[in-house]
């Protein structure tokens, strides 16, 4: 496969994944029953699977690996934090206050991950 094509696929999945998270999080904060819509329950899993697969392929093809390349390590660690915070933000049992805090923190993690990806620096060259 062409590296550029997989990179575009990866970026498209990033945009779609973030959009789906923002949509589900916004609906959750408004106490909307978004889980009744099958597409909002299922689509993120497919998108994130393609996203992860393309990320692994890109890392392999570029020979840049987590815990070797500092910027990629920062992305992986921020991704793990994002997953935990996203789960807390979208869980049914959480109270509204902690859910909002988790949602905002998850969005900040996403912004950090995108910033690291664009600059290839864990500090964004600051």
Query: For the chain, what are the domain ranges?
Result: 3-119
Q: Which of 38, 53, 123, 113 is nearest to 83 (CA)?
A: 113
Give dist(CA 89, CA 29) in Å, integer.
Answer: 9
10 Å CB burial of residue 30 (0-12, 13-18, 19+) is: exposed
DSSP codes joined into one string, 67-91 = TTSHHHHHHHHHHHHHHHHHHHHH-
Helices 70-90 and 3-29: crossing angle in degrees, nearest 10, is: 30
Segment-wise mean pLDDT, segments of 10 residues, the chain, 126 residues: 95 98 96 95 97 97 94 97 96 87 97 97 90
For residue 6, what pLDDT is reported? 97
Structure tokens at 51: 């996203």
Determine the pLDDT at residue 17.
98
């Amino acid at each position: 496969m062409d590296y550029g094509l997989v990179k575009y696929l990866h970026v498209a999945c990033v945009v779609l994944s973030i959009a789906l998270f923002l949509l589900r999080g916004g609906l959750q904060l408004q106490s909307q029953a978004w889980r009744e819509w099958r597409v909002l329950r299922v689509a993120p899993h497919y998108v994130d699977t393609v996203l992860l697969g393309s990320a692994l392929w890109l890392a392999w093809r570029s020979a840049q690996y987590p815990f070797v390349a500092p910027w990629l390590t920062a992305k992986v660690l921020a991704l793990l934090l994002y997953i935990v915070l996203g789960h807390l933000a979208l869980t049914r049992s959480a109270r509204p206050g902690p859910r909002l805090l988790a949602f905002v923190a998850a969005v900040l993690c996403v912004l950090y991950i995108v910033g690291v990806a664009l600059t290839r620096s864990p500090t964004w060259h600051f």
